[in-house]
A and B are shown apart, each in its own frame.
Chain A
Amino acid sequence: AQSVTQPDIHITVSEGASLELRCNYSYGATPYLFWYVQSPGQGLQLLLKYFSGDTLVQGIKGFEAEFKRSQSSFNLRKPSVHWSDAAEYFCAADNYGQNFVFGPGTRLSVLP
């Protein structure tokens, strides 16, 4: 079955530290891949997406993600975390428009 996994339920980092959030997918063919962020009590905002080409994609708010076909992964990174980055992060995959699936999410806490 098609699925998206995020192995880390909760991550805590200090402000200014680097961040990597993991995402793995299980699909027959490489799907379109997305990262969304959800601040408390808010809706979902797209950070970035990948569909082909350069495996390192840049997004908003200083985030980037790297697609690795060999590992079926699409990990999200940020070099220096700000307190305002505390939120829940969701990885998602789309099987060519027919089945948009979300991972369970990773909650990010930022220490001052």
Chain B
Amino acid sequence: NAGVTQTPKFQVLKTGQSMTLQCAQDMNHEYMSWYRQDPGMGLRLIHYSVGAGITDQGEVPNGYNVSRSTTEDFPLRLLSAAPSQTSVYFCASKEISGANEQFFGPGTRLTVL
């Protein structure tokens, strides 16, 4: 199993550009999530999904869109990038029921100029 994969690893955008961060998992997990990590703030939940076709907002959803058309994939879209979105982004997945840990991808480092 590859686990949770994320692409790209690094990305530089100009303000106003759009892009999609890709996330895929091969563990058949119902729950998938996106976090951003900023110094001193830990990981903050952007959006999450409890299954195909179901998404919900986390703590910091503004400026980001998600969709979940399949169990495996959970892309994160930045519609109009802003410098405040410079961060490291982590995708994670887990089984939805029980005391199950989240498995994390390697992260995407995004810089918005």
A residues with CB within 8 A of B: 9, 32, 34, 42-44, 46, 49-52, 90, 94, 97-105
Cα–Cα, bound, A43→B43 (Å) = 11
Contact assessment for B45 and A49 in the assembled complex, using a CB-CB cutoff below 8 Å: no
B111 within 8 A of A: no
Query: Which residues of the partner chain A approach B31 to less than 8 Å between Cβ atoms?
Result: 97
Cα–Cα, bound, A103→B41 (Å) = 8
User: How many B residues are at the interface, by size bracket?
Assistant: 20 to 34
**Sample of 12 further A-B pairs with CB below 8 A, known A100-B33, A104-B40:** A32-B99, A44-B43, A46-B101, A49-B101, A51-B98, A94-B99, A97-B96, A97-B100, A100-B92, A100-B94, A102-B43, A105-B40
Contact assessment for A100 and B107 in the assembled complex, using a CB-CB cutoff below 8 Å: no
A-B contact pairs, 23 of them (CB 8 A): A9-B40, A32-B99, A43-B104, A43-B105, A44-B90, A44-B104, A50-B99, A90-B42, A90-B43, A97-B50, A97-B96, A97-B97, A97-B98, A98-B50, A100-B45, A100-B92, A100-B102, A101-B45, A102-B42, A104-B41, A104-B42, A105-B40, A105-B42
